[in-house]
Structure 1
Amino acid sequence: MGARSLKKIKRSSTNSKPTSSNPMPPSQTRGFSWNRGPVFVSVAMVFGVVFLLGISSIIWNSFAGVDATPKIYAIQVVNEYPHDPDAFTQGLLYAGNDTFFESTGLYDKSSVRKVNLQTGKVEDIQQMDGRYFGEGLTLLGERLFQVTWLTSTGFIYDRINLNKIGEFTHQMQDGWGLATDGKVLFGSDGTSSLYQLDPLTLKVIKEQRVKYNDLEVRYINELEFINGEIWANVWQTDCIARISPRDGTVTGWILLPQLSN
């Protein structure tokens, strides 16, 4: 997930900010502020509303010249759970039975964790080599797949005991997000590319450009596969793009300003 990530401060000095040819979602380009207060894992319920009127025109500045009106979805926070404030979350997935797996970042502090949802207690942890900055995480079968920032190196862990059972080299430009539909892995590298990887060979079998109305949407970050769609956080925004895995088209935006407060 990593929407509040400090990791990319280094990157921001080299990447230019998005322009009208590089559309940003309706939340504009405002990034999250990062604070070290009490942290909770929030569970949000998404409900869809097509806003044809009543949306501030400021919201659409980034879409100048774009005719189509996207579907905009709001959220309602329905629960909060305790969470380690020192865990610099980059990948997060619910595994059932009040358990979630988490990939944390920062050099010398990155880890893969098994966490009790109700208590926030870390039940198991695999500390990573200090050279690596943990990133996106996904679960396929009994294996957890993880990518790392600024490298082409990824790791595979046993979901039961978090033992590292494999290491791989991928063909993406960088390691940002991971998700799966149970058949292939989906990956992102901070560009507008959405990759499909063979989970056996970890080779890229398909690459698509994420687009809204034929304009590329860059900074695709952490991914989730939900009801046949890819849901992707767009870095330094407070929203999620709903993406068709068939052709990379953005079909709607989910706004989450509540989570940045």
Structure 2
Amino acid sequence: MKRNINIGFAAFLLLASCSNNEKMLDSLADYNNAKEEKGYHFGDKIELPEEITENTESIAVSQGDKETTDLTINPKFFTLGDNNVIFIIKTKGGEVLNQDATINIFSKIKEQDIPYKIIADYPHDPKNFIEGFVVEGNTVYESDGMNNASQLIKYTLGSSAPKIVARQPAEIFSEGCTIAEDKIYQLTYRNKLGFIYDKNTLKKISEFPLPNIIGEGWGLTYDGKNLIATDGTKNLYFLDVDNPSKVVKTVCVAGSKNIYDQLNELEYHNGFIYANVWHKPVILKINPKTGDVVGKFDFTQLTKENSRGDSEHVLNGIAFKGENMLITGKNWPKIYEISFQ
């Protein structure tokens, strides 16, 4: 009889422990869900509910191959934007509980809405599914995508007729392009290749494999020292211009209230990176040293006018003509010249 009582008591303790663990995980889930939208800033503490902290021996956070017991939002462990982590909780009863969570970290710098004025427009070939766009003087260099239609073209601003066309093989899907000295660098979408051309003739000089960390080629620009690429995530990849297969550093991007991914076409100008966001009618102004979004242009109306009801005819194309910005989009019939107000 005594043995049966002991077994029953042990079963009761086990059930109580399981129930308590479930409550802790539910509490952690509620906390993380509430914090996901509000987010954190660097220097903040992850302040878990007492019903978790009072019943735990230790709490750790794991991300990739890293783990920390410091619940401070530290840039050595976390990055701007979304961080997919696992909370590892060791209870006072000896159990180990795991729970997935997303920790969003926002910039401390408020992103400003940047006013602008359209001062001119120029023709653009609406057949071109533009992926890369750069202007030097009055000459436009444009990379157009889609399999069986990819090309690199060169034309004069104000005339959409190409002076030189470098067509790609059918299996190539061209993406972003930029000028570095006397060369043009061009990415491909999923071909895991980049190409280098002579700027004057558009003759291909060489090709290079994309770094393994870059899953897809999207946007590309040049800051005078490094190439800067996007791959449809929140990341800016700084590449060695002499060896574009080498990543020099990675900078993650976020705004003060918004998490941005799908960064697309890029342009570097006067110390800032300007970035399209796929399927959003905005252009971000980004501090390339920190990843903070410091400003934003809203081109909702222009996008509506030029998309003509096709959701894939997105805003995508940024260049500069002096201090004025030039913008266009996939299959848009126009290029617009914008002055900052």
Provide the rounded CA distance (Å) in 2 between the counterparts of 1:20 and 1:176: 27
**Counterpart residue number, 1:89:** 130
Is 1:127 aligned to 2:167, yes or no? Answer: yes
Match of 1:183 among 222, 225, 230: 225
Please state whether the residue corresponding to 1:212 is helix, strand or coil.
Answer: coil
Provide the rounded CA distance (Å) in 1 between the counterparts of 2:132 and 2:254: 23
For structure 2, list consecutive stretches of 5 or more residues without a partner in the other structure: 1-35, 40-103, 306-341
Query: How far off is 1:208 after superposition?
Result: 1.3
**Counterpart residue number, 1:54:** none
CA offsets per residue over residues 129-179 of structure 1, 9 Å max, x none?
111111101000010000011232111111111001110112112100000
Please state whether the residue corresponding to 2:302 is helix, strand or coil.
Answer: helix
Query: How far off is 1:94 after superposition?
Result: 0.6
- Select the structure of larger CA radius of gyration: 2
Using the size of structure 2 for normalisation, the TM-score is 0.56
Structure 1 contact 209–216 (Cα < 8 Å) conserved: no
Q: Which protein has greater RCO, CA pairs closer than 8 Å, 6+ apart?
A: 1
Structure 1 residue ranges (4+ consecutive) displaced by more than 6 angstroms after TM superposition: 65-68
**Counterpart residue number, 1:193:** 235
Provide the rounded CA distance (Å) in 2 between the counterparts of 1:66 and 1:102: 33
What percentage of aligned pairs have identical amino acids? 34
Is 1:248 aligned to 2:291, yes or no? Answer: yes
Please state whether the residue corresponding to 1:258 is helix, strand or coil.
Answer: helix
Instruction: Pick the structure with more helix per residue.
Output: 2
AA matched with 1:190: G
Please state whether the residue corresponding to 1:94 is helix, strand or coil.
Answer: strand
Structure 1 contact 75–255 (Cα < 8 Å) conserved: no
Provide the rounded CA distance (Å) in 2 between the counterparts of 1:236 and 1:20: 21
For structure 1, list consecutive stretches of 5 or more residues without a partner in the other structure: 1-18, 23-62
How do residues 147-158 of structure 1 correspond to structure 2 at under 5 angstroms?
A: 147-158=187-198
Q: CA RMSD in A?
A: 2.2
Q: 1:129 to 1:196 in 2, by over 3 A?
A: same
How do residues 1-261 of structure 1 correspond to structure 2 at under 5 angstroms?
A: 20=37, 69-96=110-137, 98-171=138-211, 172-202=214-244, 203-213=246-256, 216-260=259-303, 261=305
AA matched with 2:278: W
The count of aligned residue pairs is 201
Using the size of structure 1 for normalisation, the TM-score is 0.72
